[in-house]
Amino acid sequence: MKNLICREMRWPDEIDDMLAVRNAIFPFIGREDWLRFPSNTASMAYLEGIPIGAIPLDQRKFQIAPGHVIDTAFEHAVGTRADFRSRGVGSAMIEAAAEFLRDRVEALMVYRGAERSAGYRFYEKSGHRDLVYMRQLRREPGPVADADVAVGGFDEIVAAQSDLLRVFNAAFGNYGGFRPRHERYWEAALTDMIFVVIPQDFIFIRTPADGEMQAYCILAARRQVRPDQQLKILEIAGTSDDAAREVIRGAVAEANQRDWPVATIACVDSPWRMVMREEGFEEGLRHTMIMGQPIALERLFATACADEDAIADLTITLWAPGFDARVWEGPAARREITVEGKELLLYRMLMRRLDIASAAASDLLTIRGERPGDRDRLAAALPYCPWEYHSIDWL
């Protein structure tokens, strides 16, 4: 489009420009609230000085595997003025974001639903690929066994954060797919921007009711903005299946009091998926995914690598239909291999989401210059890691 300029929003001078586009499409947030979150920036589209598009970007840490945390920019509230849609403005803003963020983050990412939608196709066309799939689990009101739980709210969550961290680490110490947890995480997360835009009431369930915490569940109910007459599980963690079952039953009981269903979104590798099904939750088809587009491949590879010694004598190049890039040069490099695959597979490999040996054995990945043992060495460097999504990170 002639005279279209896409670039980073100037903070704070152009916040009002960004909000003018955003608030015409999505639930309102004011300038003062936006200023509370300095990690946010935006990719802006201007036409002859007039803002016509905006992609807010939340710069955040993201754990792809235990001990392996990357810098990311999560896109949200992506919007273009109605009279300029389907004219390449959104894609141009994504391209601009990849350029101005390349020195700061390793990947652009987004939480996205509905694979058959135009919105999903926009992200796919702009270079994002699916990194993990989730599905809804929903339990309608109905009889539930009694549970040994205590029920509280936001204040109890904040007071219990050291216990939450202990239980979360026991449940998800071998997982990725979420923002890194720390002792003040929950207070920060529950006052983050999404809960300003969509205010919610929080319910905290823990087991046992007295004594050392073994499991917890954090639920939310939407108020005036997009009310949906259900309780949503934002996060659940436990030291065992039996402990998790107790708080799941407690969550159902809380929903029953309102004659509401209770629902959550879980990944295939969720440790509680089968427990919830045993407790009467019904699964839907996969609907939600985390999508990603690596923009600093060499840094991403180095951060993701779990065993540098395994590939110390290799130079590694990636080849896909849309790009090729050298991502690793070992300290004792003596030869080069090229890992070939579609963008989806290579992005998943870099994010620790691919069983490399199996993918190579089934011809999904091919390796130019391969020697015996190279598949196993690559698999040692970038081993598969299960991911779990927690709605508390973002709705």
Q: Give the pLDDT of the chain (395 residues) as one tens digit per residue.
A: 789 999 999 999 999 999 999 999 999 999 999 999 998 999 999 999 999 999 999 999 999 999 999 999 999 999 999 999 989 999 999 999 999 999 999 999 999 989 999 999 999 999 999 999 999 999 999 999 999 999 999 999 999 999 999 999 999 999 999 999 999 999 999 999 999 999 999 999 999 999 999 999 999 999 888 888 999 999 999 999 999 999 999 999 999 999 999 999 999 999 999 999 999 999 999 989 999 999 999 999 999 999 999 999 999 999 999 999 999 999 999 999 999 999 999 999 999 999 999 999 999 999 999 999 999 999 999 999 999 999 999 86
d(CA 193, CA 198): 9
Task: Evaluate whether 4-105 and 137-290 have a shared fold.
Answer: yes
Domain 4-105 has CATH 3.40.630.30: yes
At 395 the pLDDT is: 60
Instruction: Delimit the domains of the chain by residue range.
Output: 4-105, 137-290, 296-381
Fold entry, domain 296-381: Nonspecific Lipid-transfer Protein; Chain A (3.30.1050)
At 227 the pLDDT is: 86
At 42 the pLDDT is: 97
Q: Where are the alpha helices (DSSP H) in the chain?
A: 15-22, 31-35, 89-101, 118-125, 154-159, 161-172, 185-189, 193-197, 241-258, 273-278, 297-304, 343-350, 356-361, 374-381
At 155 the pLDDT is: 98
User: Could you tell me the CATH superfamily of domain 137-290?
Assistant: Gcn5-related N-acetyltransferase (GNAT) (3.40.630.30)
